[in-house]
Amino acid sequence: MDLEKLFQTQKVLRDKINYNESDRLNKLVLALLVELGECANEWRGFKFWSKDQMPRIFVPIHKWIEGLKRVVGHTNPLLEEYVDGLHFVLELGLEWGFQDKKPFLVHIGKTEEMFLRVYKCALLLKQCGTGRYHKEFYFGELLSNYLGLGKALGFTWEEVEEAYMNKNAINHKRQDSGVY
């Protein structure tokens, strides 16, 4: 995965949206946490009370054609939610000028532990105050753990980058049309 390219691509969308209000950081962190929760929901592995714990990785797309419901493709909701979260991880890096940051080490562990690590890193990043050193450290941890979560979910770097670029194009169309 070419993180430099993803940061550059995200910056173009960020500049188009051009939201610079004082609540920006709160909204970015909350958006990341929401997307992370949606990703966990598609993963389903934490739902010990359910017999349906299979991740949502292949969902048919149906369309009515000549009065018949037909499968016209498929989607991977788990990957889509993961990539939605990646947009906000990149945004947080751009927020403080850490777009050149490389992950310390891509942490990989049990999937539920990876979800919790990312939550923790995002909250620590939010709470660390104004010190650049702490922000850089916690952002590095967030990036490392988020990339590790992707690996734990079984994604390749190529899949993530392709899905990110596809979703970024959709986000640009939404901005252009005013339909979010």
Domain count for the chain = 1
pLDDT tens, position by position, 75-85 = 999 999 999 99
In a domain, 20, yes or no: yes
pLDDT band at 130 (very low <50, low <70, confident <90, very high): low
In a domain, 180, yes or no: no
Alpha-carbon gap, residue 35 to 92, rounded angstroms: 14
In a domain, 21, yes or no: yes
Task: State the pLDDT at residue 128.
Answer: 80
**Closest to 86 in 3D by CA, of 125, 35, 133:** 35
In a domain, 138, yes or no: yes
- What are the structure tokens assigned to 43, written together? 């993963």
pLDDT at 122 over 90: yes
**86-104 mean pLDDT:** 88
In a domain, 178, yes or no: no
**Closest to 82 in 3D by CA, of 39, 116, 43:** 39
pLDDT at 129 over 80: no
The more confident residue out of 32 and 61 is 32
Task: State the pLDDT at residue 109.
Answer: 80
9, 91 Cβ separation under 8 angstroms: no
Alpha-carbon gap, residue 15 to 8, rounded angstroms: 11
In a domain, 16, yes or no: yes
In a domain, 179, yes or no: no
Alpha-carbon gap, residue 134 to 124, rounded angstroms: 9
Mean pLDDT of the chain: 91
Helices 3-17 and 77-95: crossing angle in degrees, nearest 10, is: 80
Task: State the pLDDT at residue 108.
Answer: 78
Segments forming the whole domain that contains residue 124: 3-173
In a domain, 102, yes or no: yes
